[in-house]
Chain A
Amino acid sequence: DVKVTQSSRYLVKRTGEKVFLECVQDMDHENMFWYRQDPGLGLRLIYFSYDVKMKEKGDIPEGYSVSREKKERFSLILESASTSQTSMYLCASSLFLKGYEQYFGPGTRLTVT
């Protein structure tokens, strides 16, 4: 069964802290994605990765970075958290041979105070 897990369901951090959000998939998918979801703005792509150590910016990469050292793990890093980054963060993965069907994790609700 397809499984995407995220390190935390809820997270509270202070302004200026460095924040790490972890995502792990067990399906040998080559593509992984980080989105944020905000009321009225929908899902917006922050970064994606199509292979180990390969990454590309999405629509809203400012203030974020990513790391993919192993195929199954994709990390989102908030270099210096700000209140504007309070949001729901969703990770997803997909496989070309499965028609790029995306599978999502449960999400991390991040609050920056």
Chain B
Amino acid sequence: KQEVTQIPAALSVPEGENLVLNCSFTDSAIYNLQWFRQDPGKGLTSLLLIQSSQREQTSGRLNASLDKSSGRSTLYIAASQPGDSATYLCAAPAGGTSYGKLTFGQGTILTVHP
């Protein structure tokens, strides 16, 4: 059964810092990995989807990497801004005949202060 862990659970940084969020998963037989952002009381917004054949995916100031062999993914946020404050979740396929089922990490709560 897939298990996903995110470290750290919470992170507080000053504006302008570059930061890294970590995600690890136990079943490396994955076809992709997805990063989401969630604002308080809202749904999840998909940030990046990395296919297993890719090692990196970039969108603006966000860069996600995937290392299947070590069971790890990282989300790099460059030049952080207060508007980046949110909970960031990673999710990996649940395993087996999954039909796209995902297993989610507990999330990293990011606070960027001015």
- Which residues of A does B touch, CB under 8 Å? 4, 31, 33, 42-43, 45, 48, 50, 56, 58, 88, 90, 92, 94, 96, 99-107, 109
Query: Which B residues have a C-beta under 8 Å from some C-beta of A?
Result: 31-32, 34, 36, 41-46, 49, 51, 89, 91, 93-94, 99-102, 104-107
Which residue among B42, B93, B100, B105 has the maximum number of chain A CB atoms within 10 Å of its CB? B100
Task: Determine which of B36, B41, B43, B93 lies in contact with A100 in the assembled complex, contact meaning CB atoms within 8 Å.
Answer: B93
Q: Is the CB of B91 within 8 A of A31?
A: no
Closest Cβ–Cβ distance, residue B112 to chain A (whole Å): 22
Closest residue of chain B to A107 (Cβ to Cβ) is B43
Q: Are A102 and B41 in contact, with the CB atoms below 8 A?
A: no
Closest partner residue, chain B, to A92 (CB atom): B44
* Among B32, B51, B101, residue most surrounded by chain A Cβ atoms (within 10 Å): B101
Measured CA separation A106–B42 after assembly (Å):
5
Contacts of B32 in A (CB 8 A): 99-101
A contact residues around B100 at 8 Å (CB):
31, 94, 96, 100, 102
Cβ–Cβ contact B104 & A42, under 8 A: yes
